[in-house]
Amino acid sequence: MTDVLLGVPTTRRVEDRAPSREGRTYFLRTFGCQMNEHDSERVAGLFEGDGMVRADSQEEADVLFVNTCTIRENADNKLYGTLGHLKSLKDEREGRLLVVGGCAAQKDRDLVRQKAPWVDVVLGTHNVDRVLDLLDHAEAWGPITEILDEPGETMAADLPSRRDVSHSAWVTIQTGCNNTCTFCIVPSVRGGEISRRPGDIIREVERLTADGVTEVTLLGQNVNTYGRDLAIDGRRRPIFADLLRRVGEVDGIRRIRFTSPHPADMKEDVAAAMAETEAVCEQLHFPLQSGSRAVLARMHRGYTPERYLERLAMLRATIPGLTVSTDIIVGFPGETDEDFEATLDVVREAQYDSAFMFVFSPRPGTAAAEMTDHFVPDDVVQERFQRLLALQSTIGHDRNRAMIGDVYEVLSEGPSKKDPGMTTTRTRGGKLVHVDGVLPEGTFASAEIIDAAKFHLTGRLV
């Protein structure tokens, strides 16, 4: 029998908890963004705190955790295909438990249970801290679904985590989003903006550096507005620029990245903090979504193409050597040929180093999903997508070739997956550089760029 709890968390007494799972194994499968990846690190931290050990494969695990994404339709399809495959694994071993968490679980609530009744635990984005309690319930009384409409007392960012990379870590500074972009499901599954206290963030970064971390990535749905919900100095205002400076003062931190800012909220103070704080990398993800004024208005993005380009020019003028990536949606409802040409014009002027390009995917629960009368035919969307892909590939390749002959500081991420005799490294601008020889993970070095492909560079250590 399924026990469904919607928005009513229950915490059992300590003496009612199941025994520690000492020696049992777990395996995590994560879909989606860095926020999901970081949530999976926290789940792993909770599991290992309960005595569990990570398995090398899902076939070997006693507990399988699937952390889901719902940003696009194919993410949902991939989830249910995965759960179908995992049913056979669950049937193979008595007592094996299957847990589904993340954004799809938060959005679909009982649909996961309906489509995959063999799942033992379904939890959402606001109660990651309760995964052990819910496992206890599943083992003692059977399957359970618990979805909370808002975060509980324990913010997920305060949970222990188990990182796969020793030198680099994610740090959540903010959860949720207050924007109303018509294509985005995030506010529905992550809730409104909640900023962590600056002191808590700094203490976490200090703990990370004591553990050998030299690079942190600050995570938020709209980092520019970080702190707007806090009363700092008696005022409610964004304090992201202040936070960048404070994190940059932590001894041991050599690289700071962040994602994602919103163009409508990008101000000069953040650009100045990036330029003046040595540890902040010259890298920016600056989502465009569309180059059409009309489409941006239907998206509720809060800026025009002209304003976007003005702010991008300000950022590049303030931060020398800035590397810029973006997001672009092709085929948003009502997009005309003229709208799409306007997007190509902005891409040509912006000269992005890279871009994440997506075909519009209607997400139930968003305003754009209701614009069915204005959906663009698939063949038109695909033709536009290929044109955009070809343009951005050329621009990105040209920008990479312009780096040949220059020397950059690189940070080792370990052996190349394709060639163990080479090391995969990354520049401060986030460019992937493969270099000859083996550098231990987390090692800083200098590399001269000797060749450039569309999506990576080749370097020689100097």
pLDDT digits (tens, 9 = 90+) for 42-91: 888 899 888 999 999 999 999 999 998 876 666 667 787 888 888 888 88
Q: Which residue has the tokens 């550096």?
A: 209
Q: Which residues pair with 329 in a beta bridge?
A: 358
* Higher pLDDT pick, 75 / 271: 271
Query: Which of 62-76, 199-213, 249-263, 404-418 is predicted with the least confidence, judged by mean pLDDT?
Result: 62-76
The DSSP line for 79-143 is HHHHHHHHHHHHHHSTT-EEEEEEHHHHHHTHHHHHH-TT-SEEE-SS-GGGHHHHHHHHHHH--
pLDDT exceeds cutoff 70 at 12 = no
Could you tell me if 318 and 271 are in contact, meaning their C-beta atoms sit under 8 angstroms apart? yes
Average pLDDT over residues 283-292: 98
d(CA 208, CA 215): 9
pLDDT exceeds cutoff 80 at 268 = yes
The pLDDT of residue 57 is: 93
d(CA 373, CA 395): 34
Q: Counting Cβ atoms within 10 Å, is residue 207 exposed (0-12), middle (13-18) or buried (19+)? A: exposed
Domain boundaries along the sequence of the chain: 3-147, 165-281, 283-402, 407-461
The CA–CA distances, whole Å, from 52 to 156, 162, 344 equal 20, 12, 51
CATH architecture of 165-281: 2-Layer Sandwich (3.30)
Query: Which of 102-111, 122-131, 331-340, 357-366 has the highest mean predicted lDDT (pLDDT)?
Result: 331-340
b/e map 180-192, b = 16+ CB within 10 Å: ebbbbbbbbbbbe
The pLDDT of residue 154 is: 52
Q: What is the pLDDT of residues 445-460, one digit of tens each?
A: 999 999 999 999 999 9
pLDDT exceeds cutoff 60 at 406 = yes
Query: Which of 19-23, 180-184, 358-362 is predicted with the least confidence, judged by mean pLDDT?
Result: 19-23
The pLDDT of residue 159 is: 62
Could you tell me if 80 and 104 are in contact, meaning their C-beta atoms sit under 8 angstroms apart? no
Query: Which of 53-57, 69-73, 260-264, 437-441 is predicted with the least confidence, judged by mean pLDDT?
Result: 69-73
Could you tell me if 328 and 385 are in contact, meaning their C-beta atoms sit under 8 angstroms apart? no
The pLDDT of residue 371 is: 96
d(CA 448, CA 462): 7
d(CA 3, CA 145): 6
d(CA 429, CA 83): 38
Query: Which of 62-76, 182-196, 296-310, 391-405 is predicted with the least confidence, judged by mean pLDDT?
Result: 62-76
CATH architecture of 3-147: 3-Layer(aba) Sandwich (3.40)
* Higher pLDDT pick, 408 / 164: 408
Average pLDDT over residues 121-125: 90
Joined tokens for residue 117: 């009744």
Run of H or E including 313: helix 305-318
The pLDDT of residue 274 is: 98
pLDDT confidence tier of residue 8, bands split at 50, 70 and 90: very low
Torsion of CA 32, 37, 39, 42, to 10 degrees: 160
d(CA 319, CA 289): 23
Tell whether domain 407-461 is in CATH 2.40.50. Answer: yes
Q: Counting Cβ atoms within 10 Å, is residue 396 exposed (0-12), middle (13-18) or buried (19+)? A: buried
Average pLDDT over residues 347-366: 94
pLDDT exceeds cutoff 50 at 148 = yes
Average pLDDT over residues 138-149: 88
pLDDT confidence tier of residue 31, bands split at 50, 70 and 90: confident
* Higher pLDDT pick, 189 / 157: 189
Indicate if 407-461 has the same CATH topology as 3-147: no
Round the average pLDDT of the chain to a whole number and report it. 89
The pLDDT of residue 10 is: 43
pLDDT exceeds cutoff 60 at 32 = yes
The pLDDT of residue 158 is: 59
The pLDDT of residue 155 is: 52
d(CA 28, CA 40): 7
pTM, to two decimals: 0.81
Average pLDDT over residues 425-447: 96
Given the candidates 1.10.300.10, 3.40.718.10, 2.60.40.1180, 3.30.750.200, the CATH classification of the domain at 283-402 is: 3.30.750.200
